[in-house]
Amino acid sequence: MNNLHDLWAKRFAHYMSEVQKYMRFIFSGHIAIVLVFLVGAGGYYYSEWLKTAPSDFPTAYIVAAVLAVVLAFSKPITLLREPDQVYLLPLESHMPLFFKQALRFTFFSKIITVIVPYIVMIPLLNATTDLASQTIWVIAAILIVLRWVNVQGEFAYRYANRGANIWLDYLVRGVISALAIYHFVLNDLVFGLLFMALLFVYVTMLAGKVKAQPVPYEHFVKLEQNRMMSFYRFANYFTDVPHLRGSVRRRGYLNFFYRLAKYGKQQTYVYLVLRTFIRTDDHFYLWVRLTAIAALLAALVDLPWAAFVIVGVLSFATTYQLKVALLSSHEFRMDQLFPVPEQLREQAVRKVLYVFMTIQAFIVAVCALFVSPHIYMYMVIVIAVAVITERMTKKPREI
């Protein structure tokens, strides 16, 4: 039906325009430098470890587990909107045409999420298994087929069950996919194909249930809204997203940090920025995640220069994203009613950033005690990178 084809084309064009609008801020020159350092340091450390990798390393288990998890999560991208629950009801019998295009786009957009991890694991397969080059690339083709089947399977399960107990579907498809990949890595084609056939049967059974069910517009609309909100939250770390509203929590156990804001007119923004950072989930959990990653890597990476680079990159990422987020001002704030100079806000953001980046530096240094005696270097690198990044980062532009 032409109007459904046109509807998908318009939705897809708008979606790509929306993504490109924010991606140009995400993949800026700063992030490109971060990615180069991360890939370089990670690649070098990985290659050095492969030189000493034991021959009995459980490669098959690791490859199967990692790729099965990636394959299991195959959420459909439908681009449905809330008004569609009403306006598309008369076209419900023709919706398979719309969903066919949606699943095709979902498949092609998610191929990279399974192929890239597999390509990263190819050196591990070459170093610890006896697989021939042809077999390794045959497995890559099989992974593409498994991605298609998993995309169809998750869509069918969500369609038939309105997303109820989706974890059960993840578990079934994940286990079957893992067993298939495991046997292919062991060069056992018979059992590998057997488990692939089992996955086909499971998905076919789910597809049979779809025919007897009405279109679950509400579930797919909610799924699409959550997906786009996740993207907007991520983009908000790099630029101002006007229509984004994050969730907040009180976190009373961190109230002692408010003592940093002394009583007085000049401390208005310090108090406001502290409350914004501590109570806003997006800001606070960003700092927690990146601090935890930096601490974990500092405790595990025993190559000093590689650890220094990674920790410095994460310090840059934390400072850059938090400064952009805390300086975003698309919403009305009560402090705008009071005669407080606007430039004090940037000074307050700088003070709060320095405090929490110093805490991050201390945590990383303590964790680095496991592998390095030069813990002071970790503190110096984290704080120095944070100061330089804060000074060079400009106030975000509004869209």
Handedness of CA 75, 80, 83, 89 (dihedral sign): negative
Residue 206, amino acid: L
**306 closest CA partner among 314, 126, 361, 383:** 314
pLDDT, position 206:
94
**248 closest CA partner among 219, 277, 206:** 277
Domain residue spans of the chain: 10-50+247-328+337-399, 53-234
pTM above 0.75, yes or no: no
**143 closest CA partner among 107, 102, 99, 100:** 107
The SS3 assignment for 85 reads: helix
CB-CB contact of 216 with 162 (8 Å): yes
Mean pLDDT of the chain: 86
**346 closest CA partner among 357, 338, 354:** 354
pLDDT digits (tens, 9 = 90+) for 349-392: 889 999 999 999 999 998 888 777 777 888 899 999 999 988 88
pLDDT digits (tens, 9 = 90+) for 42-93: 787 788 888 888 878 899 999 999 999 999 999 999 999 999 998 888 888 8
398: Cβ contacts below 8 Å, ≥ 6 apart: 240, 242, 330
248 strand-pairing partners: 280
pLDDT, position 337:
58
Instruction: Locate 99 and state its tokens.
Output: 């969903």
Instruction: Locate 357 and state its tokens.
Output: 């980046």
- Tell whether the model's pLDDT for residue 114 goes beyond 90: yes
Query: What's the rounded Cα separation, in Å, for the pair 65 and 182?
Result: 8
75 strand-pairing partners: none
Query: What's the rounded Cα separation, in Å, for the pair 60 and 243?
Result: 45
The SS3 assignment for 83 reads: coil
Q: In the chain, helix, strand, coil percent, each to 5?
A: 80, 0, 20
Instruction: Locate 189 and state its tokens.
Output: 């084609």
Query: What's the rounded Cα separation, in Å, for the pair 259 and 270?
Result: 10
Query: What's the rounded Cα separation, in Å, for the pair 349 and 318?
Result: 13
pLDDT digits (tens, 9 = 90+) for 214-243: 999 999 999 999 999 888 877 776 666 766
Radius of gyration of the chain (CA): 25
Q: What is the mean pLDDT of residues 200-223?
A: 92
pLDDT, position 399:
46
CB-CB contact of 85 with 21 (8 Å): no
pLDDT digits (tens, 9 = 90+) for 295-333: 888 887 777 777 888 888 889 989 988 888 888 755 556
CA atoms within 13 A on the CB side of 225: 12
Phi, psi of 240 (to 5 degrees): -80, 120
DSSP state of 186: T
398 strand-pairing partners: 240
Instruction: Locate 38 and state its tokens.
Output: 């991360």
- Tell whether the model's pLDDT for residue 266 goes beyond 70: no
Query: What's the rounded Cα separation, in Å, for the pair 68 and 252?
Result: 40
Helix/strand number for the chain, H first, E second = 14, 0
Q: What is the mean pLDDT of residues 121-127?
A: 91
**76 closest CA partner among 97, 107, 50:** 107
Handedness of CA 251, 257, 262, 264 (dihedral sign): negative
Q: What is the mean pLDDT of residues 154-162?
A: 94
Query: What's the rounded Cα separation, in Å, for the pair 110 and 112?
Result: 5
236: Cβ contacts below 8 Å, ≥ 6 apart: 244, 246, 282, 325, 328
